[in-house]
Amino acid sequence: MDLEKKPVVSDVGAWGMNVVSSVGIIMANKQLMSPNGYAFCFATTLTGFHFTVTALVGWISNATGYSVSKYVPLWELVWFSIVANMSITGMNLSLMLNSVGFYQISKLSMIPVVCLMEWILHSKHYTTRVILSVIVVAFGVGICTVTDVEINAKGFLCACVAVFCTSLQQITIGSFQKKYNIGSFELLSKTAPIQAASLIVLGPFADYYLNGHSIVKYHYSTGAVFFILLSCSLAVFCNMSQYLCIGRFSATSFQVLGHMKTVCVLILGWILFDSALTIKNILGMLVAIFGMIVYSWAVEADKKAAKFVSAKGSDILNGEDVKLLKDKSNGLIDSDLEHGQMKS
């Protein structure tokens, strides 16, 4: 009997890696991009650096035999990379054109959008308890983060593009892994080079449009280079764990439980950067955490219910098979008796 191959990283380990690396990269980027830090205001180009290092790690992994390259059609990789890059650019434009409050609302809207798209594309249905827990999480995070809300036409359009492309990207990650039977890291190794090349070329132009500064004129101090390398290193684990989590669970679960990162960022911002933490923030975090716990319970309860229904259906089928076998055996006996009577 072949032993079942166990995953290198456990489910809890995958979530932990994603939360730690995501929070770490936010803290590193805050120091790197802040005017009080190193004022590296080139977010799109920095993302290109992230995917360049990720692609390099993937190439080394394939060259050393740690991972195996599998076939995915080039056109699938190209359109996925276009959607992913539009997600990154759309988010940066949304943050620039909208108020922080509306930007946070647009990020929260990804949860219902992902649910809707999974229902349309994969006919996935959600129980009432899952839907209610999602609403509780969104409400809690909204209390934490949403302050002023100002809307304008350009900002609204960019937010819509960002939410749609991000949701589609996350759903597609899971679909590709199932469709081509490819692992999370192997898929990331396929998509990262295309995203890196396109963002390195187009990123400086997008950043110049966003903030009016040219990356060519930026002065790279030792501290800035250190934080760029730190950000790129954390991005490898962040990208890897994102593909890993979505492949094992779903885009919806990744969105819901991913808001734990928002809670951690608020707490660390208060500890490390003296950011204000009000009663409103604390209450919002508690509501969000409660919603995440309820969501986890609801998903597990649905899985157990599905297994029970499947087992019950299997028992019914087994009963029908027994009945058919009995009918067939009785038919054979009757046939033998008829042949015996004819012979006599």
Encode pLDDT of 235-274 as tens digits: 999 888 888 887 777 777 777 777 777 777 777 777 776 6
Type of residue numbered 291:
G
**DSSP code per residue over 263-283:** HHHHHHHHHHS-----HHHHH
Query: pTM above 0.95?
Result: no
Judged on CB neighbours under 10 Å (0-12, 13-18, 19+), 260 is buried
Q: Using CA atoms, how far apart are residues 192 and 242, in angstroms rounded to an integer? A: 13
Tell me the residue length of the chain: 344
Please report the pLDDT score of residue 147 as a whole number. 66
- Residue 271 has a pLDDT of 75
> Which residue has 């830090």 as its token pair?
37
Amino acid found at 134:
V
Which letter does DSSP use for residue 7 in this model?
Answer: P
Closest CA to 104 of 134, 139, 142, 136: 142
As a 3-state breakdown, the chain gives helix, strand, coil percent values, each rounded to 5, of 80, 0, 20
Report which DSSP code applies to 277: -
- Low-confidence residues of the chain, pLDDT below 70? 1-9, 100-101, 145-151, 273-276, 308-344
Asked if 252 and 189 count as a contact pair (C-beta separation under 8 A), the reply is no
Question: How high is the pLDDT of residue 244?
Answer: 82
Q: Cα separation of 233 and 87, whole Å?
A: 21
Ramachandran bin of 39, using left for φ above 0, alpha for ψ from -120 to 50, beta for the remaining angles: left
pLDDT of 31-73, one tens digit each? Answer: 898 888 898 989 889 999 999 999 999 999 888 888 788 888 9
